[in-house]
Amino acid sequence: MEQLSHRVRANIMGLAIDPIEFDAAVEKILFFAHSRPAKYVCVNSAQDVVIAQHDPRFRDIVNQADLATADGWPVVWSIRSRGMQQSGRVTGPDLMLATCEKSVAKGTRHFLYGGAEEVPALLTGKLEQRFPGITICGAHSPPFRKLTEAEDLAEIDMINQSKADVLWIGISTPKQHFWLQDHIHKLDVGVVITVGAAFDFHSGRVNRAPKWMRDHGLEWLHRAAKEPKRLGSRYAKYLPQFFYMSLAQRLGLKEYSILDCKTK
């Protein structure tokens, strides 16, 4: 089995992000998928970096990830400013499609956990149509409330009984990260990946920004315009904080530690 080598991770305001290219990230995920015990992958936007400043538990989850990618352009630019190479974003929605496509030949089994009530069935249909031969071995939309202990155990058993290799988590941030931390050691899967809005995009429930907007750092603007009440205030809150902290780090006015990060 492949040995996990030492990782050099970028310190993005205290969040340890892997400066990894897209294709390499997909290959690493597929390697994780067919190994045990379970590993996990986090994709990280500017919002995540800011949340990590105020929530030590969230920061610890990302810093201990087996792979943490740059989902947003501000994170990519910050990696480059640290003198590291990062040609572009490694986003949850894109990772989901590429991993699903390459997994068909490997017989990889996928479980979809998250989204509104109708989303898992819609997403299953879209992925099966797009990638003939893909194995979606389970899909479930958890209720938008705290589960009872019995319900929680039943969901874990459902996932484990499916014999999934990849568990895709499509819940909001940071809820999906906390769910991951609480359940990772109970899961008999190869890899867990937090992808958030990917469920809505690929199920067809929400239209993703055009590629030219995604390539020029404007996906946030498209999403804010589509969902101003839910996302407009979020971007207005997090983006200015991110750029303020980034400037402070670059000017040496504030230092951030990633001594708690996972390096293998």
The boundaries of the domain holding residue 104 are 18-203
The share of the chain scoring above pLDDT 90, in percent, equals 66
Residue 172 inside a domain? The answer is yes
Looking at residue 116, its pLDDT comes to: 87
Kindly state the average pLDDT of the residues 200-208: 85
The share of the chain scoring above pLDDT 70, in percent, equals 97
Residue 107 inside a domain? The answer is yes
Residue 148 inside a domain? The answer is yes
Residue 208 inside a domain? The answer is no
47: pLDDT strictly greater than 50:
yes
Band the pLDDT of 79: cuts 50, 70, 90.
Answer: very high
Residue 22 inside a domain? The answer is yes
Residue 229 inside a domain? The answer is no
Band the pLDDT of 211: cuts 50, 70, 90.
Answer: confident
Looking at residue 48, its pLDDT comes to: 95
31-45, 79-93, 221-235: which has the minimum mean pLDDT?
221-235
Q: Report the C-alpha gap between 174 and 62 in whole angstroms.
A: 11
202: pLDDT strictly greater than 60:
yes
Kindly state the average pLDDT of the residues 118-134: 96
Position of tokens 């929530």?
55
pLDDT of 85-125, one tens digit each?
999 999 999 999 999 999 999 999 999 999 888 999 999 99
Residue 48 inside a domain? The answer is yes
3: pLDDT strictly greater than 50:
no
Q: Report the C-alpha gap between 167 and 153 in whole angstroms.
A: 16
Average pLDDT, the chain: 90
Instruction: List alpha helices for the chain, DSSP H.
Output: 22-33, 46-54, 56-63, 73-81, 92-103, 119-130, 149-161, 175-183, 198-203, 211-215, 219-226, 233-250
Q: How many CB atoms lie within 10 A of CB 244?
A: 12
- Contacts with 72 (C-beta within 8 Å, 6 or more apart), sequence order: 44, 45, 46, 47, 89, 220
Kindly state the average pLDDT of the residues 3-28: 89
For the chain, the domain total comes to 1
Residue 252 inside a domain? The answer is no
2: pLDDT strictly greater than 50:
no
1: pLDDT strictly greater than 60:
no
Kindly state the average pLDDT of the residues 171-179: 92
Cβ–Cβ < 8 Å for 8, 39: no
Kindly state the average pLDDT of the residues 126-140: 97
